[in-house]
Structure 1
């Protein structure tokens, strides 16, 4: 939708702004209602997974932590973007700002994804080499 809005403009850009605002208001409302609970529970779960995985050696906890930790960064970026979009007074008149914000958000999400995939791959290879039966 962002590419079509950038190329064609007009109704495509208006549709992009409208659907972005719907999703931003939805996420902003979720954060307003359950933000305190999420802020308490998610770090607790992450620290439990980190301690049980890396200190006690539970590999499933390591895997879930290496999946959930970057996801928390993506969630924080999404909440920040939704807050920025919901508090912008004249957002409907400036689709270029929405296109730029969504494009920048996509780049950051992809960067977090690439970094987490690379780190998780290296960690998995390290674990395979560490517990390999080839080196006795």
Structure 2
């Protein structure tokens, strides 16, 4: 087999038919669901089950993560919003107006993650204002995780349906 053909097959820009895209999509949503505002899920579960020092660690790490998220959003939030909108608009135009499949795939990955970012900022603000302690904090973090998981399910379903339609259109055109 030719080296060029091997590399071209490995780095296929037809994303929806590429196994690596789907593995990447699963890893992104798995990570987003596991890291709740920068706090690992196992730490939340351990704090809920054991309390004491584990709960103190959870409260400290949540405070640090929330402060970090709020600092970044207050210092460079407008710049990040502008740049994100620029990138997402460019990807949407390339993908859906000019029919570039790679841009469609990246848009369907980044757009829901930008919503996760907004949900994270909102939850960080809520935690900073109310300063929940103990099980109330665990409940707030788990609610955030459920929102991210619901968005992930909707995103994966939408991406799978769009990818299936793209693959069917591609196979009809070239058969």
Counterpart-to-counterpart distance in 2, 1:95 and 1:81: 16
Structure 2, gaps ≥5 residues long = 1-42
| Alignment length (residue pairs) | 133
Superposed displacement of residue 113, structure 1: 1.0
1:31-82: CA deviation from partner (whole Å, max 9, x where unpaired): 0110110121111211111111001011111011000010011000111111
2:166 matches 1:127: yes
SS of the equivalent of 1:132 reads helix
Paired residue for 1:33?
Answer: 75
Superposed displacement of residue 133, structure 1: 4.6
Superposed displacement of residue 87, structure 1: 2.4
Paired residue for 1:103?
Answer: 142
Counterpart-to-counterpart distance in 2, 1:131 and 1:3: 45
SS of the equivalent of 1:131 reads helix
Give structure 1 regions of 4+ aligned residues with deviation exceeding 2 angstroms: 133-136
Give the root-mean-square deviation of aligned CA atoms.
1.5
Normalization by structure 2: what TM-score?
0.72
Counterpart-to-counterpart distance in 2, 1:43 and 1:70: 13
SS of the equivalent of 1:44 reads helix
Counterpart-to-counterpart distance in 2, 1:123 and 1:11: 47
Normalization by structure 1: what TM-score?
0.91
1:74-112: CA deviation from partner (whole Å, max 9, x where unpaired): 000111111112223x54xx2222101110011111111
Counterpart-to-counterpart distance in 2, 1:20 and 1:31: 16
Counterpart-to-counterpart distance in 2, 1:28 and 1:131: 44
Structure 1, gaps ≥5 residues long = none
